[in-house]
Structure 1
């Protein structure tokens, strides 16, 4: 069933207004996909599935009190872990995040290159005008 739901998911462009780059938009989508798997509890699973299927926007979802309460609880846990880290651990985590975003950007670039390569090997567009005659 999850693969059926995944087919219906919005693409990462849905998150581009919230992100600074296509890689960040992809990271948001991947994070929502993980949450939709249920690891963060049923309430956030529901929220992620609603957002990923396009039934509600992410900004709208964050205005739903049940979702906001769960996000706040999760944020407290993350903040507690962050506060317990040394400066070196924080720097390492930040570097890991940067590497992850770079990896996502490489994926995006490769996908775009592949689309360009496969697009150039196709025949002329149907409406190119090259075969038109009165």
Structure 2
């Protein structure tokens, strides 16, 4: 269900807020968030920090990529 939601969002057929109003999408997203939260709570502080660092590095790389794309325009 989340893959379908992602396709709808990426195609521009629906916006994020609109997608969240679709019960099947919001339920699937809520379930995924619940599972993530449970997994996060089971992690050690070291594992959590490792994931935080990985997420931060990913976001920084995405920002750089977006900036480079904007500079090419």
TM over 0.5: yes
Say which is worse superposed, 61-70 or 104-113, in terms of deviation. 104-113
Matches of 1:51 and 1:79, distance apart in 2: 24
**Which stretch of structure 1 is more off in the superposition, 44-53 or 79-88?**
44-53
What's the CA shift for 1:104? 1.3
Aligned length: 73
Query: CA distance change for structure 1 residues 114 and 50 in 2, over 3 Å: closer, same or farther?
Result: closer
Find the partner of 1:83 among 38, 41, 56.
41
- Could you state the TM-score of these two structures normalised by the residue count of structure 2? 0.85
| Structure 1: gaps spanning 5 or more residues | 1-42, 116-134
Number of the residue aligned with 1:103: 61
Following superposition, the deviation at residue 90 of structure 1 comes to 0.8
Residue 48 (structure 2) pairs with residue 68 (structure 1): no
Q: Write the distance in 2 (CA, Å) between the matches of 1:51 and 1:113.
A: 25
Shift of 1:94: 0.7
Q: Which runs of 5 or more structure 2 residues have no equivalent in the other structure? A: none
**Closer, same or farther in 2 for the Cα pair 1:113/1:55, shift >3 Å?**
closer
Instruction: Specify the alignment match of 1:30 in structure 2.
Output: none
Q: Which whole-Å deviations, capped at 9, do the CAs of 1:69-95 have from their partners, x for residues lacking one?
A: 111111111111101101111111111
